[in-house]
Structure 1
Amino acid sequence: MKGDQIDKIKKTLIEVLRKHGVKRAALFGSIVRGEATEGSDIDLLIEFEGRKSLLDLAGLKLEIEKFIYSKILTYDM
């Protein structure tokens, strides 16, 4: 994945995450190491401001998937 593609993903993520009340977020994995390809997933850890409902989480997930054209796997921590 090229640097300009990664920058576009980051910019889009920041806009979407702010809209959904995300306090902090961190990218990790192949995209950060510069090893991502077109088929790579995007590893994202997020912390919300306050508690969010399942519907809030689903809405965030769907909106991110819409912009990055990739499925997102979610895990509860």
Structure 2
Amino acid sequence: NKITPILKTRGAEYAAIFGSTARGNTNPDSDVDILVRFRDDISLLDHIGIAYELEDAVGHKVDLITEQSLNSYVAPNVKKDLRVLYGEGKRSDLL
């Protein structure tokens, strides 16, 4: 897992994957959807930089989503596929 060390180094206290990667039905064009919670607020530029760093590591486009950015329309789909990489959190904690 190349994702975990990068996120831990960058201050993420929780990370999970969801979507096609979590379901195991990816194709060559699939992106990697990652839900993350950072210990401290990060800037937009830092967020983008972390996403690019992850893309370089995994070789796919990465959608890095923070818990705060989830809305009530997206959260149910995220919850059903969620696979925790590290940290504490449950599906019920989302929205």
Does TM-score exceed 0.5, indicating one fold? yes
Query: SS in structure 2 opposite 1:39?
Result: coil
More helix per residue: 1 or 2? 1
What is the aligned residue count? 67
The residue correspondences of 1:12-23 to structure 2 (distance < 5 A) are 12-23=2-13
Q: Indicate the structure whose relative CO is greater, using CA pairs within 8 Å and at least 6 residues apart.
A: 2
Q: For the residues of structure 2 that align with 1:57 and 1:13, how far apart are their CA atoms? A: 14
Quick one: which of 35, 42, 58 aligns to 1:68?
58
Quick one: which of 31, 44, 49 aligns to 1:54?
44
Change (3 A) 1:44 1:55: same
Percent identity at matched positions?
Answer: 33
More strand per residue: 1 or 2? 2
Q: For the residues of structure 1 that align with 2:65 and 2:35, how far apart are their CA atoms? A: 9
Q: For the residues of structure 2 that align with 1:43 and 1:13, how far apart are their CA atoms? A: 11
Q: CA deviation at 1:59?
A: 1.7
TM-score of the pair, normalised by structure 1 = 0.73
Q: CA deviation at 1:74?
A: 5.0
Structure 2: where are the runs of 5+ without partners? 70-95
> Partner of 1:6 in structure 2?
none
Structure 1: where are the runs of 5+ without partners? 1-10
